[in-house]
A and B are shown apart, each in its own frame.
Chain A
Amino acid sequence: MSSILNAGTPAPDFSLHVTPDQKLALSELRGKPVVLAFYPADWSPVCGDQMALYNEILSEFQKRDAELLGISVDGVWCHAAFSKDRKLHFPLLADFEPKGAVANQYGAYREADGVTERALFVIDKDGIIRWSYCSPIGVNPGADGILDALDALQSKGAK
């Protein structure tokens, strides 16, 4: 398993395609918490895979004013088809060319497999990683850790 970036580290900025003709940079989201969810691949063959689960609980992220970004090495067209099929209501970023470059910066690229880890990062409004977690590749990490981390951000912010 790779060693992912830890809490306290500034989140490396990136700009990746979200649609065939549109790019999104992490720095554009400064001022809001961001949840960055690396996952190995679109089209995993289970009901309620990681992205479908996050899609179901988007309102929980919105309640906390957080932006959710899914990210894998799949290309934009693949993401577009997957997103449409699963009716996803949040952006999927294509870490496609050079393949896995962003995942690599976060320590979340599996060189041998050519896919990203199942790695989660909660980034605060100033662009600092406040929580990160790398799940075994076969285990969907769920959302409890993310929500706990977002809640911790809010309680800190309130002080």
Chain B
Amino acid sequence: MSTLKVPVGPEDHVEGSDYAPVTLVEYGDYECPHCSVAFGIVPRVQQHFGDKLRFVFRNFPLTQIHPEAEPAAETAEFAGAQGKFWPMHGQLFENQVNLGPELYQELAADLDLNPADLTHALENETFTKRVREDFSGGVRSGVNGTPTFFINGQRHNGPFDFETLVKAIEAALPAD
């Protein structure tokens, strides 16, 4: 059974309470169409569980098959370093078909981030190490493709439609 080897920490992008009884960690890739589907499902799952669920997103760019996955991940991290990870994360998935340098510039400007700083960060690979660390931790945890979910540290092997995820999370909730 594959388990999460890197515990959720202060470096992570987290939505929800640190006191939530269940943590859902997703390893994803902004160019992966299945992750885009998951992006439509996760917020519904979060809404369903409210403060009982904490959600964490980590990067797992499959760069050999998705040439924009790495720069997109670094763009999200660039926004994240300025407290705007989640809006950038959402915009990247919303605009998956248009991923590319022009889109990153546009999204940065939309979020009141400096597009020139973004260009600089991508060129200097400022966030490459961060993305690689997410990736390596994912590999050691048994991430086997994208998206891969962990529910309270256990890899979720089934499909990730709303009903299946809800059921799996319910099973991880402590009895009231």
Interface residues of A (CB under 8 A from B): 46-50, 52-53, 55-57, 60, 86-87, 139-145, 147
Cβ contacts under 8 Å, A87 to chain B: 64-65
Quick check: B139 and A144 within 8 Å, CB to CB? yes
Q: Given known contacts A47-B34, A47-B65, is B145 in contact with A53 (CB within 8 Å)?
A: yes
Please list the 6 inter-chain residue pairs (A to B) with the smallest Cβ-Cβ separation, ordered nearest first. Answer: A48-B145, A142-B144, A140-B144, A142-B142, A144-B142, A47-B32
Query: Inter-chain contact count A-B, CB under 8 Å?
Result: 68
Cβ contacts under 8 Å, A47 to chain B: 29, 32-35, 62, 65-66, 145-146
Quick check: B141 and A144 within 8 Å, CB to CB? yes
Quick check: A56 and B64 within 8 Å, CB to CB? yes
* A144 CA to B35 CA, complexed, in Å: 21
Q: Given known contacts A139-B157, A143-B139, is B145 in contact with A49 (CB within 8 Å)?
A: yes
Cβ contacts under 8 Å, A143 to chain B: 139, 142, 144
Residue B48 is within 8 A (CB to CB) of chain A in the complex: no
Where chain A touches its partner, the secondary structure class is: loop
* A48 CA to B66 CA, complexed, in Å: 10
* A26 CA to B67 CA, complexed, in Å: 33
Tell me how many residues of B have a C-beta within 8 Å of chain A: 25
Which residues of chain B from 132 to 163 have any CB-CB distance to chain A below 8 Å in the complex? 135-136, 139-146, 155, 157
Cβ contacts under 8 Å, A140 to chain B: 144-145
Cβ contacts under 8 Å, B65 to chain A: 47-48, 52, 86-87
Instruction: List 10 other contacts, CB 8 Å, given A49-B145, A50-B145, A147-B139.
Output: A47-B34, A52-B65, A53-B62, A56-B63, A87-B64, A87-B65, A141-B142, A142-B142, A143-B139, A144-B141
Cβ contacts under 8 Å, B35 to chain A: 47
Residue B2 is within 8 A (CB to CB) of chain A in the complex: yes
Cβ contacts under 8 Å, A142 to chain B: 2, 139, 142-144, 155
Q: Which residue among A52, A53, A55, A143 has the maximum number of chain B CB atoms within 10 Å of its CB?
A: A53
Quick check: A48 and B63 within 8 Å, CB to CB? no
* A48 CA to B59 CA, complexed, in Å: 13
**B29, chain A: closest CB distance, angstroms:** 7
Q: Given known contacts A56-B64, A143-B139, A144-B2, is B32 in contact with A50 (CB within 8 Å)?
A: no
Quick check: A46 and B34 within 8 Å, CB to CB? yes
* A9 CA to B138 CA, complexed, in Å: 31
Cβ contacts under 8 Å, A145 to chain B: 142
* A47 CA to B64 CA, complexed, in Å: 11
Cβ contacts under 8 Å, B66 to chain A: 47
Q: Which residue of chain A lies nearest to B62 when distances are taken between CB atoms in the complex?
A: A48
Which residues of chain B from 1 to 21 have any CB-CB distance to chain A below 8 Å in the complex? 2, 5
Q: Which residue among A48, A57, A60 has the maximum number of chain B CB atoms within 10 Å of its CB?
A: A48
